[in-house]
Chains A and B, each alone.
Chain A
Amino acid sequence: MNGGTPLWVEALTALLVVVGALAALIGSFGVLRLRSFFRRVHAPTLGATVGTWGFTLATAVQVSYERGQLYLHALLITVFIALTAPVTTIFLMRAAVFRGRLRGEEIPVPGTEEPSRG
């Protein structure tokens, strides 16, 4: 706290934070930029993976150094996001595939016969 944090801890934290923030920003940009829903669905995972990893690792490094002991509680958020984000995305994909077929868009149906082509 009193200016005693060594440079490498601060540099590591800064690097992790900047990489995480850039990943989250690019992900949000992709949500806005990409043209169709099925393309956009890939963009938020950037923020949920590298974005979250960067910030939680930075927090873990900072807190562990400050208290002089390993503190991994921030990684709980990583685990939590890793368990929950795919669930939402899978639900959304199913909803979009279902509604797309209702609108008459061409979405292949996975059938029992040998898949011909994607």
Chain B
Amino acid sequence: MRRLIPSPVLSVALLLLWILLMQSVSAGTLVLGAALALFWPAVTVRLRPAPVRMRRPLVMARLFCRVVLEMLKSNAEVAWAILTQRSRDMRSGFVLIPLELRDPNGLAVLAMIVTFTPGTAWAQLSADNRVLLLHVLAIESEAALVALIKERYERSLKEIFE
């Protein structure tokens, strides 16, 4: 079973993608989509460096909602900063954040979330994956930012991936 379906989540995602792309739920679409959804993960399993284990769908859903809300909020903040703040009043700079998350897939998701949120961008991870260098457009308080990343995102990701 594990050899046949190495990653069920990826298979389901591929099937959904196929249905959306074909814009129909006819039998032919479903059969072909299911075949592709079984075929590609099995073929590409060697290409994925670390096996993905995701648990706790509830935590995932909560994290998703939080990320969307946080993005809407920071969109408004960054838009306001771009329109109104003068250049020399903007306190932007690099922030170092210690990380406890070790799973490479979890770190990848954290990188995507942080970078896709306006106002923060992932710059570099230390060689041992323990410290993160982050660039922030408008630093209000460093402690609040560290708390946001560690308590909101990192803890949920630890629950999901570790």
A touches B in complex, CB < 8 A: yes
Shortest distance from the beta carbon of B134 to any chain A beta carbon, whole Å: 8
User: A110 contacts which of B79, B112, B117, B132 (Cβ < 8 Å)?
Assistant: B132
- Least CB distance, B82 to chain A, in whole angstroms: 4
Given A49-B71, A107-B94, A112-B128, residue A29 in contact with residue B20 (CB < 8 A):
no
Interface residue count for B (Cβ, 8 Å)? Answer: 44
Asked if A99 CB lies within 8 Å of chain B CBs, one says: no
- The distance in angstroms between the C-alpha atoms of A28 and B132, with both chains bound, is 28
- In the bound complex, CA of A30 to CA of B162 (Å): 38
B65 in the interface, Cβ–Cβ < 8 Å? Answer: no
| Contact A90/B23 with A23-B79, A45-B117 known, Cβ cut-off 8 Å | no
Q: Which residue of A lies closest to B117 (CB)?
A: A45
What secondary structure prevails in chain A residues at the interface with B? helix
B23, closest chain A residue (CB): A73
User: With A and B bound together, what is the CA distance between A89 and B120 in angstroms?
Assistant: 11
Contact, CB under 8 Å: A108 / B96: yes
Contact between chains at A86 and B115 (CB < 8 Å): yes
Interface residues in B61-91 by Cβ distance below 8 A to A read 71-72, 75, 78-79, 82-83, 87, 90
Shortest beta-carbon distance from B78 to chain A in Å:
6
B116 touches A112 (CB 8 A): no
- Chain A residues proximal to chain B, CB less than 8 Å: 23, 26-27, 29-30, 33-35, 38-39, 41-43, 45-46, 48-50, 71-73, 75-76, 79, 82-83, 85-87, 89-90, 93-94, 97, 107-112, 114-118
7 tightest A-B CB contacts, nearest first: A115-B96, A110-B126, A118-B95, A110-B131, A86-B115, A30-B82, A45-B118
